[in-house]
Structure 1
């Protein structure tokens, strides 16, 4: 990400996660479709606005899914345009989600750019209620309006991680924000709360299940920092998925998207392969958190043994 102030950003994460004590709550929603593989490669795609932000939406084609769709909000990395997540969002949608990817512009530490914030979760919760009844919407009558999950990349993942604790601290809280009641789980890529130059992560009192997906070749957000943050998550279920050979941009359409801070470490796995691995494990973790039994069987049973692209740590 093109964001020179990473030190203050991570310090803010530390403050947010240290000052907040939130008890875990059970994550349960109505049943989702039962499959451990993508349900469809056919998607419905359209543009919308969420609280004034332009957003892209990816969802399974109506004829392919016979259940209401949970909404997955993808919080972008700093200065990574929403269009750069199209393959990842499309892949997550194939597992039975309506994926919403906004572009959110604001000023952080005097720098104008694309910076996610915590309030986007509540804005998206309001959007999904309205979209489910909007005449002409491709998702009319198809949204599970009680179920919102988070996806996030780097800065966006840090904003989401802070939100899961109930904290509201700049730079991730541009305006007062609380986690909406619909929030059930989260999966973040290239995300940690390790302070700059620090050797450990402060406790993360997450109120919903959290998965961290991490590239083993990440030169921006280190694998060691992700491991420390995983250990610091206080409330299971939690999961750490390491994608072999992926770097900080293992879930974007291309390496080092224009305008974003480049990763100096080259990726050694094909881009489409890392995108699919990140989407697969994010989606299956989120489906499991939403109460899908067969996703849980794959996630905690055979997934790690049959997927050579990752290694997995978890606490149920």
Structure 2
């Protein structure tokens, strides 16, 4: 199938997912919260999941239940030392808007520490998984993966890895091989609690794909000011920063201070369900907009900021 045909089919599938399921039950782990005005945009769909492996990384796969077309894949790059199990609610929320979301546990050496640390190598490994899984008759997603389309999600260290991927750069500590180049299948990224601060400096980010930052305004680990400075050095649009009031660094994990991870110092005013829903919705609709979904683009660029009292948004073309 040509890329143009895939793109047309993708838009049709996304439109069907958005409009045809208002009467269905809420997705597992992702019950949408109402906006300030009581309206939930682009009604999500129910989600299913199963276990897989990407090379040696145990991976949970989340996908819309009953999908009949091809869907893009969202690779979720976990935060440093955060087990993938703590992203179940967030991953399900993003998947409910029309994505196959993958949450691999990527354990490796990072300087002197062996723990969960993402790397640029996961992009190529995930693309290979997509091709294999799509061709595996026994897979729930056989024939349903758009193998030409990957987007990125990231949290904290994983988001910083995502920024490095967005540049097509091999930079320490994110690149574990000698070189890295951005594959054409990678279309956009959305990163939570992320910045590129190095000893008080913010190197220019010459991104090759659209980038969104979602920033909890109560984050005491990756601070809001650091996200603002990072947004300022993202050289190329489209780009967006979504400021989520009342959320802290672990606003997208199932619990505060996941076991084994660094402890947050900033309190969270929102419930976990509220912050996960809001962050997942904005990430999913931003990514859909970059893939050509006109309704999602209207929301993230025009109507969403005013409708959602939890956020303030800045965008650049």
The two structures have a TM-score, normalised by structure 2, of 0.87
Alignment partner of 1:75 is 2:77 = yes
* Contact 1:125/1:180 (8 A) holds in 2: no
Q: Report what 2:252 is aligned to.
A: 251
- 5+ residue gaps, structure 2: 1-5, 19-40
CA RMSD of aligned residues (A): 1.3
Q: 2:186 — aligned with what?
A: 183
Q: 2 CA distance for matches of 1:283 and 1:66?
A: 20
Contact 1:43–1:58, Cα closer than 8 Å, also in 2: yes
Give 1:39 shift. 3.0
Show the counterpart of 1:122.
Answer: 124
Following superposition, the deviation at residue 184 of structure 1 comes to: 0.2
Which residues in structure 2 correspond to 1:82-101 (within 5 Å)? 82-101=84-103
Equivalence for 2:233: 232
* CA deviation after TM superposition for structure 1 residue 297, in Å: 1.2
Query: 1:274 maps to what in 2?
Result: 275
CA distance in 2, matches of 1:90, 1:297: 23
Distance 1:312 1:94 in 2: 22
Tell me, in whole angstroms, the C-alpha distance in 1 between the residues paired with 2:148 and 2:270: 37
1:82-101, Cα deviation, whole Å (9 max, x unpaired): 00000000000000000000
Show the counterpart of 2:25: none
Partner of 1:49: 53
Following the alignment from structure 2 to structure 1, what is the Cα–Cα distance between the partners of residues 100 and 135? 15
CA apart distance, 1:111: 0.6
Aligned-pair CA distance for 1:314? 0.4
Q: Shift in Å at residue 66 of structure 1?
A: 4.5
Equivalent residue, structure 2, for 1:6 = none
Shift in Å, 1:29: 4.2
Structure 1 residues without counterparts, runs of 5 or longer: 1-27
Larger RCO: 1 or 2 (CA < 8 Å, sep 6+): 1
How do 1:68-217 and structure 2 match up within 5 A?
68-175=70-177, 176-196=179-199, 198=200, 200-217=201-218
Normalising to structure 1: TM-score of the pair?
Answer: 0.87
Provide the C-alpha distance between the structure 2 equivalents of 1:306 and 1:228, rounded to a whole number of angstroms.
Answer: 26
Measured in 2, the distance between the counterparts of 1:44 and 1:142 equals: 14
Partner of 1:4: none
Number of residue pairs matched by the alignment = 284
